Chain A
C-alpha cells in the first residue's frame, strides 16, 4: 500500500503541478485568470484521440502534434480575445469560461459524451514491493517531472525565463528595462497552454477521456494556486504535489475514500482561505506588485 500511495501521489501531484504552474504563469505575467486552462488539457486529450482514430497517426506523434496545436490555439485565443480586453480582469475571466464551454460543446458534438480510452504510451506493468504498477504510470510521472525540470531551467537559466520573471514581478519596470511585455505575455500564453497540453497528453492514457474531464482539474488547480499563494509559481507547484498526495491518501486510507477524492482539494481551498489566506508561500510583497 505504501508503494501504491507513493507512486499514485507522485503521478497526480506531478500532473497537477504542471497544470498549476501554467495557470500561475499566465496569471502572473498577463493577469489573465484563465478558467479555460484545463479545457486545453481536455482538448489535447481529444486531439490525440481524434488523430489516432480518424487519421491513424501513431500515438507519440499524435501527442506531440496535439500539444503544439493546443499551444497555437492558446495563442490565437490570446490574440482574439484576451489581448483586446486584458485591462478588464473580470471580463477576461468570463471570456475564458466562455472559451472553456466552447471547447466542451465542440468536443461533445464531435466525439459524443461517452467515456473513451486512449492506448498507453508504454505497455505492461512493473512489480515493486509486491504491488504491480502500470508502466504508463511511470511514464506519466517521468514525463511530468521532466517537464517540471524543463520549466525550471527555462525560468532560471534562459533570457526568455528572465524576461518572464521580470514581467511577472513588475510589468512597468520590465517595460522600461527594454522587455517587450506584450510579446512576453503572448509567449507565456503559448507556454502555459503547452504545459496544459503536456498534462493532458500524459494523463489521457491513465484515465477515461470525456468532454467534462476539465472541471475537476480546474478545481484542483485553483486550490493549488490558493494553497501555494497566488502569484507564487514555486508555491503552486509544491501545493499541487501536496494535493496530489492528500487525494491519494484519502483514496487509499479512508474507507470508500474514492468518493471523497474530489472533495479533498475543495476542503483544502476553504481551509487555506479561512486560516492563511496568503497561502503557504504567499508573496510577502504581494501588495506592492504592479
Chain B
C-alpha cells in the first residue's frame, strides 16, 4: 500500500470566513477512508476543493462577492500536484466526486447520465462499463429510460456512484451518501459501496452518520471547524471517551 492521495495544509476561505484551516490527511491505495463531523465542519468543502470545484468557483465567480475565495495548500495524487489544476483535468486523472444527494443531470435519462460518465472513453469500453454498473445497481437498469429528475433520493445517490464508475475512477470522493435515506436503502447502499471498494476503487467518503461510516471504513478522520482533530480505526476512535462524547455523540 502506497501513499496515494495526500492533502497537506489545505485552507479554504470564503471571503474572511475560514472553512478549512490547514487540514491534512492521506488516503492509501485501495483504502476506504471516512471523514466524519458535524454540519458546517468543512466536509463538503474539502471534497469540493479536492475535486477542483472550489478552484472553478474561484475562477468563474471572480469579481463578485461569492467569488472571494482563497485556496491554499497542497493536494497530491500519485505524486502530482492537483491544487492548481482545473476541475475537468482532475476528473480525467481519475478523481471523481459524487456530490451530496447525487445531483444527477435531471432532464437526462438514467442511461444518458451514465453515458456522460464515460464520455471520454471508447464506445466499447463505455458499453462494458455500463453493463458492470447495471449489474451492480439493477434498479438503475430498471429505470434506464426514466428521466433522472424523477428518481428517489437513494436512486439518485446510486446513479451518481454509477455515473462515476462509468469513467473508471481511481478514487471516488463520496459526499454524504447516506443523507436522507430510509434505513433499508441505507443498508443496500452500504453493501454497494463495499462492492465498489471490492472493484479496486479507493474511496474517501464524508458522513454525518457515524455508525454508517465507521462500519464501512477501515480508517477514519474526525473533522471539526475545518481541522482534523482525530484519526484512527473505528475501534480506536470509539475507545477515546473524549472524542466519542464530544464529536461523535455516541
A residues apposed to B, CB below 8 Å? 85-88, 159, 162-163, 165-166, 169-170, 172-181, 283-285, 288
CB-contact partner of A179 in B88, B103, B112, under 8 A: B88
The chain B residue with its CB closest to the CB of A234 is B107
| Minimal beta-carbon separation of A228 from chain B (angstroms) | 14
- The contact size tier of chain B is 20 to 34
Residues of B at the A interface (CB closer than 8 Å) are 51-53, 56-57, 60-64, 67, 86-88, 90-92, 96-97, 99, 103, 105-108, 112, 115-117, 119-120, 149, 163, 167
Residues of B within 8 A of A173 (CB): 99, 103, 105
A16 nearest CB across to chain B (Å): 23
A169's contact among B87, B106, B163, by CB below 8 Å, is which? Answer: B106
Residues of A contacting B92 with CB < 8 Å? 178
A87-B62, A87-B67 are known contacts. Are A175 and B106 too (CB-CB below 8 A)? Answer: no
Q: A181 near B99 (CB under 8 angstroms)?
A: no
The distance from the CB of A136 to the nearest CB of chain B, in whole angstroms, is 37
Count A/B pairs, Cβ under 8 Å.
Answer: 83
Q: Which of the residues A85, A88, A169, A177 comes within 8 Å of B107, measured between beta carbons? A: A169
Q: Taking the nearest CB of chain A, how far is it from the CB of B209, in angstroms? A: 24
Q: Is the CB of A180 within 8 A of B88?
A: yes
Q: Look across to chain B and name the residue whose beta carbon is closest to the beta carbon of A289.
A: B106
23 A-B residue pairs with CB within 8 Å: A87-B67, A162-B116, A162-B119, A165-B105, A165-B107, A165-B112, A166-B105, A166-B108, A166-B116, A169-B107, A170-B103, A172-B56, A173-B99, A174-B116, A175-B88, A176-B53, A176-B88, A176-B91, A176-B96, A176-B97, A177-B91, A177-B163, A181-B56
Q: State the CA gap A170–B108 with chains docked (Å).
A: 11
Query: Which of B64, B106, B149, B167 lies in contact with A177, CB distance below 8 A?
Result: B167
- CB < 8 Å neighbour of A176 from B52, B105, B120, B149: B52
Note all chain A residues with C-beta closer than 8 A to B51: 176
Q: How far does the alpha carbon of A163 sit from the alpha carbon of B119 in the complex, in Å?
A: 8
Listed from nearest, the 3 A-B pairs whose CB atoms lie closest are: A178-B91, A175-B87, A169-B105
Q: Are A177 and B116 in contact (CB under 8 A)?
A: yes
Q: Quick check: B149 and A285 within 8 Å, CB to CB?
A: yes
Q: Give the complex CA separation of A177 and B88 in angstroms.
A: 7
B103: nearest chain-A partner, CB-CB: A173
Residues of B within 8 A of A86 (CB): 60
For A181, the chain B residues whose CB sits under 8 A away are: 56, 88
Which of chain A's residues has its CB closest to B63's CB? A87
A284 to B64, Cβ gap below 8 A?
no
Q: Please report the C-alpha to C-alpha distance between residue A169 and residue B115 in the assembled complex, in whole angstroms.
A: 15
Measured between alpha carbons, how far is A159 from B52 in the docked complex, in Å? 23
Q: Cα distance A26–B46 when bound, in Å? A: 32
Chain A nearest CB from B157 CB (Å) reads 14
**A169 contacts B96, C-beta separation under 8 Å:** no
CB pair A159–B119 under 8 Å, yes or no, is yes
Q: How far is it, in angstroms, between the C-alpha of A283 and the C-alpha of B56 when the chains are bound?
A: 26
Q: Which residues from B are CB-within-8-Å of A179?
A: 88, 116, 119
User: A284 CA to B107 CA in the complex, in Å?
Assistant: 10
A165 contacts B108, C-beta separation under 8 Å:
yes
Q: How far does the alpha carbon of A284 sit from the alpha carbon of B91 in the complex, in Å? A: 29
What CA separation (Å) do A166 and B103 show in the bound complex? 12
Given contacts A176-B97, A177-B116, contact A283 B61 (CB under 8 A): no
Cα(A169)–Cα(B148), bound, Å: 12
Beyond the given pairs A173-B103, A177-B167, 18 more chain A to chain B contacts, judged by CB atoms under 8 angstroms and listed by A's residue number, are: A87-B61, A88-B63, A162-B116, A165-B107, A166-B116, A169-B108, A170-B106, A174-B105, A175-B87, A176-B91, A176-B96, A176-B99, A177-B96, A177-B119, A178-B92, A180-B88, A285-B107, A285-B149
